[in-house]
Structure formats: C-alpha cells, structure tokens
Structure 1
Amino acid sequence: MDTNTVYETRSAASHERNRQTRKKGLSVPLFLFFWVLLIGSGLLGTIWYTDKLKQNLTDQVNQQTAQQISAMQADYKKQMQELTTNFNGELGKIQSKVDALNELLEFSKDNMSSKTDNSNKLYSQIAEVKKQLSELKKSLDVLK
C-alpha cells in the first residue's frame, strides 16, 4: 500500500499542477483577447469620432462659403446697378450735347454769313462728343 499512496500523492500533485497550468494557460489568452478587443474598440471609436468631426467641419465650411458667395453676389448686383445708372446718366448728357449740336447745325445753316466761326465751334463740339462717346464705350466694355 505504500506504493499506492506515493502514486496517489504524485497523481494528486500532478493533477493539481495540471489544473493550475490550465488555469494559467487559459487566463493569458483570455486576457490577450480582452486586451485586443479593448484596443480595437478604442480604434473604431476614434475613427468614428474623427469622421463625425470632419463632417461637422465640412458642413460649417460649406455654410460659411454659401453665405460669403451670396454676400458677394448681392454686392456685385449693387455695383452693376450703380454702374448702369451712371452709364445711363452719362448717355443722357451726351444725348443732350448731340441735340445741342444739332441745334447749332440748324442755326449755322440759317446764318451762313459767319460760316467759319460756327464751323470751328461745331468741329470742336463734335470732337468733344466723340471723345466722351469713346470713353463711355470703354466703360460699357468694362461693364460687360
């Protein structure tokens, strides 16, 4: 019976060691699994959060850009209206000068005696009108 007791003692001790080894062996992979799971969920959470921040930032930039574009369009329309008004005013002034020239021409036809004076005045006024007309055409080209 002595050998049986030694065998049983050895068997019980080896069985106890096997059980402790299994516990240790099982706890390390389980710990590593949870550790990897924790790191993976942290990475996925970080990626989701940065994407959400990127989307919010993009939306804000788009909104600001749209506001700036609409403000620029309103300013552009206002400037175009002012330029058109100024152009029409200048055009009206030139029209009145052309009418005055026509009257002067009619008057010069009636008064043939002082032909050279009226002719010189007429040429100088025509030159001035042509000059103003070319300036207005340039302004109109710039507007277009």
Structure 2
Amino acid sequence: MKVTDAEILKAIWQAQVKKTAKGVITNYVGGSKGLKSDREQDRHYAQYQSMISRGGLGIPLSKGQLARRLKALIGGDNLQWRGHPGNAYEFCTDAAMDVFRFARNWWEERGVPAGFDQVKKCMRTIQLSDYESLAAQLEQELLERFGNLEVTA
C-alpha cells in the first residue's frame, strides 16, 4: 500500500493535536494537576512527537521505512526537529500555538490553575477526579476543531 507524504503529515498533525489535550497539564506528586505556562518552550513539551514512538502514528509502514520517510519530511519551514535532530519533531506553526492556547484556556475554564503561589511557596494545583474523561472530551474537541487543517512540511 502506497502511503503519501500528505497522509504522513496529517497523521503527525493529528497526533500532535491529540497529545496537546493532556500535554498542557503538568502532573504533580499526589495526583494534582496544574497548567503549563504560555511560553513557546511549554508548547513544545505539550506537543512534540518522538522518533521512538513513531509506530503510534498508525501509518502502515515498517518502523525503518517510516523513519526514513519522516527524516525526509522533517526540516522544512513547518515540520521541524527540536533539540537533537533525530529525536523530537513537531509542527512549529501558528496553528500549533492556536491548538496549545485553546487547550490551555479549555482547562483554565474548568478550574485548573497555573503559576506559582507566592504565599504558599508552591505551584498552584487542583485535584481532578474526572481528569481522564475531561482529557478525552478535550481531545475530541481539538480534533474536530483543528484536526483536519491542511499541513505541509
């Protein structure tokens, strides 16, 4: 079965969008949750994809063939290596930042705090008993809103 570059790019984009649903959350000891800040570095940690987990993209190619195809696609204006080339990659676009901000705002509207509490000298956090169901709901909403955007390398 022939797999096009466009299909690979779409699979990467959708994986990045899905990862963002949980990626904007920082997990703390004891199960409490807090929001990552709104910086580019935090967006990276919330969305990056790794070469080692490329099999999770759902593309019907061997891991070796997929690695070769990914390496050929990564390095353009939009799909870029982050850190050491060959490890992590992501779409670094305005749309990626829009997904990140939408997810942050979504969690914030549900009471998840961000930042450092100067009085208590700790990060602001909250316990979420329904975290997994909320994350699944957000993932679905992100895919509906952003999952079918046209992406290029």
TM over 0.5: no
With structure 2 as the length reference, what TM-score do the two structures score? 0.21
With structure 1 as the length reference, what TM-score do the two structures score? 0.22
**Higher RCO (Cα < 8 Å, 6 or more apart):** 2
- Rg larger in structure: 1
**Structure with a larger share of its residues in helix:** 1
**Structure with a larger share of its residues in strand:** 2
